[in-house]
Structure 1
Amino acid sequence: MLMNSTKLMFMMIIITSVIMVYSSSSFFMSWMSMEMNLIAFLPVITKSKKMKDQSMKYFIIQNISSSTLLLSVILNLKFETPINFEKFIIISLMMKMGMMPFHLWMINLMEKLSWMNCFLMNSIQKMSPMLIIPQMINFKLFLLPMTISLLFAPIAMMKMNSMKKLIGYSSIYNSPWMIVSIYISKKLFVLFFFIYSTLNLLLMKKMKMNNMMFLNQMTEKSTMTKMNLMINFISISGMPPTMGFFPKWMILMKLNEISWIISMMMLFSSFISTFIYMKMISSIMMNQTTKKKFFKMKKINELEILINIMGMANFLMFKPN
């Protein structure tokens, strides 16, 4: 993604809008910041001709969710009725983030986006709604939406061949982890978000470098490229002792003090996700490569592997407070 002056300006607006939501104590300012984010993100994704229709779909869905959110908050403050408008707030925020069952638009959109725009969709674009959730919604009311995304997103990954769809469903699966972390502590949320974004950036950078769009293209790559991707997949799934396991371990330690049932549910979902990743990796590693047996070994990026396997060292340095 080339950073010309126009795109750099839009990226600065996107980052500024997220910071405004993080630091704001007013709902109206947070809502305005999300609208700024939407207006700045649309020109970033409308680069190719095939994205013109998709960007309009994205605008319509985000506009409907923002309007529903604003209307439900106004009605909740204006009328003292037995109707609980928090459910409408939950639906609008789930639609904005692309959580199940309002996820199909995000999966279809990510398939048309470039890798760097997919990274923005999985990271920065989800941060603003997540920061609003604990300010407006009780934790118990959000348990059912989180359970749906935790259980059904890994199952939907089983028969996916497109790498962008796989990463999209992985983002849906990790969204409840982020929501739980922000209910516990904002510092824990920032830590989880930073590690998850770093792992996604490394994975998508590797996909872009190797021009990989589908899962069966991994069989054509060298053994070291497969190993690098395998470690990255395992780290995102949260298997110890990788880097992705470190924030999830901290979340489970704190969540176990609140409710051990929820922590067991999240742990069971993590087992399903890890099993799917391991099944995908085993089938790739068992297939023989179609390259020649005698080829020049490319330079290995040790930094990416080091970042993914340094999770055990973090246990010695940090502990959940």
Structure 2
Amino acid sequence: MNITTMTIIYTTIITGTLITLISSHWLLMWIGLELSMMSIIPVLMNKANPRSTEAATKYFLTQATASMILLMSIITTMMYSGQWSIIHSNNPIVSLALTLSLIMKLGLAPFHFWVTEVTQGTSLMSGMILLTWQKIAPLSILMQTTPTINQPLIISSALMSAFLGGWGGLNQTQLRKIMAYSSIAHMGWMLVVINFMPSISLFNLMLYIMLTISLFTAFYTNNNLTTLSLSHVWSTAPPTIIIILLNLLSLGGLPPLMGFSPKWIIIQELVKNNNIMIPVLMTMAALLSLYFYIRLTYSTTLTLFPTTNNTKTKWCLYNKKTVTILAPMTMLSTMTLPLTPLLLTLN
């Protein structure tokens, strides 16, 4: 892909998401989603092979189905209200269709199967865009239509996503699939609190994006695709081990890393609203995710595989892939837990 084509495609992806974020007109919001969806398909197929073509096809079919359901809810809202602006609707059909379409776009359970397959079939950078930037627009629509969405369906889907995201990643060896299941579990955490305080969901999304970008960038610098290749990072890029260790433990939500903060705030907010069983179940689901994060940490940092010579590190440690964003992203996503009281006051 040449530089002109790549610039046009990425500009369209960013423009589509921004149109969805700033518009108060249902049709413009839908058009922004479609722009973002259509423009990311060439990104998914950047390296032309049967796996990427299959992944792009699965992504297109799922997102097109969700877009049709969303358009049906938009037209139904316009028929009953007579206007295209975003307003609260008491119509159960509108509420159900809107919630289902956005759940499908975000890849939450029970419509989560496409996330792992599409992420596994693409490159690391394409998977990173899919799991980070493409989540912003649907989640912004959910935040703007919080009074309209079906609350029991959202909470049920969030709980299922947290558990299935943990269970699905337990026996995985492919790093892209592990990150996809991690995305499903974190989306569950974001949606379980969206009815009570959407700003907490936004805070969780921003932190999740920083953590995911840091991990994908660390994988990209050493071209790690499996846990086996990740276990050899200590002999080629020793500093990367610390970055991967911090980001994985932060994703798992262990203090004193920053990933502990959103889980703590979400549990606190749910308890404030007299929900006791939901945070208990979400905490149990978080332990499942924490297990495969610690498994990755163990294979990366606590094992030394036998070498054929007397040296423990490879003689050539020079890596041509220099990513300047890795260090600041790691610092922001792991070392900023003391700023949590300030974030709470902003909410």
Instruction: Return the TM-score normalized by structure 1.
Output: 0.86
Unpaired runs of 5+ residues, structure 2, are: 82-90, 319-325
89-98 vs 3-12, greater mean Cα deviation: 3-12
**Deviation of the 1:173 alpha carbon:** 0.5
For the pair 1:124 / 2:128, whether they are aligned, the reply is no
| Residue number among 161, 169, 176 corresponding to 2:181 in the alignment | 169
Q: In the alignment, what sits opposite 1:154? A: 166
**Local SS of the residue matching 2:256:** coil
Paired residue for 2:269? Answer: 254
Match of 1:4 in 2: 3
Aligned alpha-carbon RMSD (Å): 3.0
The verdict on how the C-alpha distance between 1:294 and 1:193 changes in structure 2, with shifts beyond 3 A counting, is closer
Aligned partner of residue 344 in structure 2, secondary structure:
coil
User: After the TM superposition, which of the residue ranges 165-174 and 121-130 deviates more from structure 2?
Assistant: 121-130
2:232/2:300 contact within 8 Å kept: no
Determine whether 1:239 maps to 2:259.
Answer: no
2:170 alignment partner, SS class = coil
Residue 152 (structure 2) pairs with residue 140 (structure 1): yes
Contact 2:17 / 2:136 at 8 angstroms: preserved in 1?
Answer: yes
> May I ask how many residue pairs the two structures share in their alignment?
320
State TM-score, norm by structure 2.
0.81
Counterpart pick for 1:268 among 284, 287, 293: 284
Task: Indicate conservation of the 8 Å contact 2:105/2:138, yes or no.
Answer: yes
Residues 246 and 314 in structure 1, CA contact (< 8 A), matched pair in contact too: no
Contact 1:240–1:311 under 8 Å retained in 2 = no
| CA deviation after TM superposition for structure 1 residue 85, in Å | 4.7
Bigger proportion of residues as helix: 1
Number of the residue aligned with 1:40: 39
Percent of pairs identical after alignment?
A: 24
Which one is further off, 256-265 or 166-175? 256-265
Match of 2:103 in 1: 94
Q: Deviation string for 1:8-29 (max 9, x for gaps)?
A: 2322222222222222223222
Instruction: Give the alignment of 1:176-255 within 5 angstroms.
Output: 176-180=188-192, 182-222=194-234, 224-255=239-270
Give the C-alpha shift of residue 250 in structure 1. 2.7
Give deviations 1:239-288, integer Å, cap 9, x for gaps. 11112222333333333322432333322222222133223423544432
Counterpart position of 2:294: 278
In the alignment, the residues of structure 2 paired with residue 15 and residue 181 of structure 1 have an alpha-carbon distance, to the nearest angstrom, of 27
Deviation at 1:79, TM superposition (A): 7.6
> How far apart are 1:155 and its partner, in Å?
0.8
What is the CA deviation profile of residues 94-114 of structure 1, one whole-angstrom value per residue up to 9, with x for unaligned ones? 222222222222211111211
Could you say what secondary structure the match of 2:224 adopts? Answer: coil
3-state DSSP of counterpart to 1:288: coil
Corresponding residue for 1:61?
A: 62
Amino acid in the other structure paired with 1:60: L
Which structure 1 segments of 5+ residues have no match? none
